[in-house]
Amino acid sequence: MGKKSKKNLKDLPLKEQVKPIFKERFTQMLSGPNRRKKDDGTLWTPEEEYELFEETILRAQRKSFRINTYKSQNPQKTYQSLVDKGLKLLPVPWSKHAYFLEHDKETRSDLGNLFEHFLGEIYVQEATSMTPPEVLEIPDLSSPTSPESFRVLDMCSSPGSKTSQIAAMMKNKGLLVANELDYKRLGPLKINLERSGFSNIVIINNDGAQIDGIEVFDRICLDAPCSGSGVIRKSPGTLRAYNPKKLRQINGIQLKLAIRAYELLKKGGIMTYSTCSVDPEENELLVKKFMEQVPEAKLVPVELDGLIQHNKLTEFKGEKIPEEITEKTVRIWPQDNDTNGFYLAKFVKPE
Ligand SMILES: C[S@@+](CC[C@H](N)C(=O)[O-])C[C@H]1O[C@@H](n2cnc3c(N)ncnc32)[C@H](O)[C@@H]1O
């Protein structure tokens, strides 16, 4: 496609920017046995499922944030101060002290400009992005019996949403290593973590697949670089750039990072693999490849309160997805919870 036609595509209404390959692939993903049921018991057609998906992703993202329970002395007071400012808040079911912002024209507010944000008492974070830390089972490090040497790695960390969430769960104790490959993305990471008020974080600038050591960390969050097909609501440009042929290239990096993360994990440790993508190649099929290469890795169910999940994948383009992967991992379609799209798998390294 030439420069001129690219510019023209950008000028079109969003609905007209949807590429045929996008519609074809997502209709296929939405044609499995786990579709919605109608009142008469019949299933929605794949075309109806696709329409709902497309209608959702062409709408702007619902804003959400989390109260930083380390910086805010009193989360209830912080919540109340926001309500007093006229914000209409709805709890995020799967994350404590996290809220969706109900939007109407009168209370329209930029969360990033709130005083509570400057103070680091709230962290603006998309609700699906809160899911990996929620299932990492961070122990209470303020308890006298908890290990002082508890170590966590956030392998791909900028701009630091999950790092900040994990640090709050660690109550600023133990050690949290935040790694980021892209030098330019270290600035925002540093600013976000400083504002959040932590002193138990070390930032490193490495290719995650090259981090040295064996069985070093108790927990690892691998929020992998991906195509971003789950965040079209935030970045509509992803729709124009959508090209499944590029997935193969990024798959190599995702697999290397997952294998290295597993090597860095202590026995008995827990790691999550996540992406903000809804493409099977970087999600269920990547987990399948990882489990073929690392058969001892134990896939465990991801449990999140109140999360709605339709259209879990059982196969894609003739490739069967093992039942264990369909059942135990989480595929978040934007239309199910009015969020972005996301995928999450959780592994334990046996003792
Ligand atoms: C999905 S984003 C991470 C978002 C972050 N976890 C958060 O919640 O705020 C993926 C990040 O991985 C970084 N990245 C890409 N390749 C990497 C690699 N080989 N090693 C470490 N980080 C990498 C990207 O620069 C990007 O900042």
- CB distance 185 to ligand 1 below 6 Å: yes
Residue with tokens 């508890």: 150
Residue 129 has pLDDT above 90, yes or no: yes
Average pLDDT of 27-43? Answer: 96
- CATH fold label, 130-348: Rossmann fold (3.40.50)
Q: How far is the CA of 314 from the centre of ligand 1 (A)?
A: 28
Sign of CA dihedral 180, 186, 160, 103: negative
Counted residue by residue, the chain has a size of 351
Residue 113 has pLDDT above 80, yes or no: yes
Residue 106 has pLDDT above 70, yes or no: no
* Test site for ligand 1: of 123, 130, 181, most ligand atoms within 8 A of the Cβ: 181
Q: For residues 252 and 254, what is the distance between their CA atoms, to the nearest angstrom?
A: 6
pLDDT-derived band of residue 109, with 50, 70 and 90 as boundaries? Answer: low
Q: Which pLDDT does position 340 carry in this prediction?
A: 98
Assess whether 276 carries a catalytic annotation.
yes
Average pLDDT for the chain: 94
Q: How far is the CA of 282 from the centre of ligand 1 (A)?
A: 14
pLDDT tens digits, 180-231: 999 999 999 999 999 999 999 999 999 999 999 999 999 999 999 999 999 9
Q: How far is the CA of 133 from the centre of ligand 1 (A)?
A: 15
Exposed e or buried b per residue across 187-216, where buried means at least 16 C-beta atoms within 10 angstroms of its C-beta: eebbebbebbbbebbebeeeebbebeeeeb
Question: Which helix (H) or strand (E) is 38 found in, with range?
Answer: none
Q: Which pLDDT does position 7 carry in this prediction?
A: 61
Q: Which pLDDT does position 108 carry in this prediction?
A: 53
Residue 4 has pLDDT above 50, yes or no: no
Average pLDDT of 39-44? Answer: 96
Q: How far is the CA of 74 from the centre of ligand 1 (A)?
A: 32
CATH 3.90.550.10 is held by the domain 64-124 = no
Residue 246 has pLDDT above 60, yes or no: yes
Residue ranges per structural domain of the chain:
3-57, 64-124, 130-348
- CB distance 156 to ligand 1 below 6 Å: yes
Token pair of 173 as six digits:
């104790």
Average pLDDT of 136-152? Answer: 90
pLDDT tens digits, 275-323: 999 999 999 999 999 999 999 999 999 999 999 999 999 999 999 999 9
Q: For residues 333 and 321, what is the distance between their CA atoms, to the nearest angstrom?
A: 17
For 145, other C-beta atoms within 10 Å of its C-beta total 6
Atom of ligand 1 nearest to the CA of 225: 10
CA distances, 294 to each of 222, 255, 278, 297 (Å)? 16, 11, 23, 6
Residue 337 has pLDDT above 50, yes or no: yes
Q: Which pLDDT does position 146 carry in this prediction?
A: 80
- CB distance 282 to ligand 1 below 6 Å: no
Atom of ligand 1 nearest to the CA of 180: 22
Average pLDDT of 7-33? Answer: 91
Phi, psi angles (nearest 5°) of residue 89: -115, 140
Atom of ligand 1 nearest to the CA of 155: 21
Q: Which pLDDT does position 73 carry in this prediction?
A: 87
Residue with tokens 């989390």: 66
The residue whose C-alpha atom lies closest to atom 6 belonging to ligand 1 is 157
